[in-house]
A and B are shown apart, each in its own frame.
Chain A
Amino acid sequence: EVQLVESGGVLVQPGRSMKLSCAASGFTFSTFPMAWVRQAPTKGLEWVATISTSGGSTYYRDSVKGRFTISRDNAKRTLYLQMDSLRSEDTATYYCTTGGPGYNPNWFAYWGQGTLVTVSS
Chain B
Amino acid sequence: DIQMTQSPSSLPASLGDRVTITCRASQDIGNYLRWFQQKPGKSPRLMIYGATNLAAGVPSRFSGSRSGSDYSLTINSLESEDMAIYYCLQHNEYPWTFGGGTKLELK
What residues of chain A have their CB less than 8 Å away from a CB belonging to chain B? 35, 37, 44-47, 50, 59-62, 95, 97, 99-105, 107-109, 111-114
The tally of CB-CB contacts under 8 A between chains A and B is 67
| CB <8 Å contact, A95 and B44 | yes
Can you spell out 20 A-B residue pairs with CB atoms less than 8 angstroms apart?
Answer: A37-B44, A44-B99, A45-B36, A45-B44, A46-B98, A47-B98, A50-B94, A50-B96, A59-B95, A97-B44, A99-B91, A100-B91, A101-B92, A103-B49, A105-B50, A105-B56, A107-B34, A108-B89, A108-B91, A109-B56
Give the complex CA separation of A33 and B6 in angstroms: 27
Q: With an 8 A cutoff between CB atoms, is B27 at the interface?
A: no
Interface of B is mostly: loop
Interface of A is mostly: loop
| CB <8 Å contact, A47 and B32 | no
- Given A59-B95, A101-B91, 8 new contacts (CB under 8 A): A37-B44, A45-B38, A95-B43, A103-B31, A105-B55, A107-B49, A108-B36, A108-B91
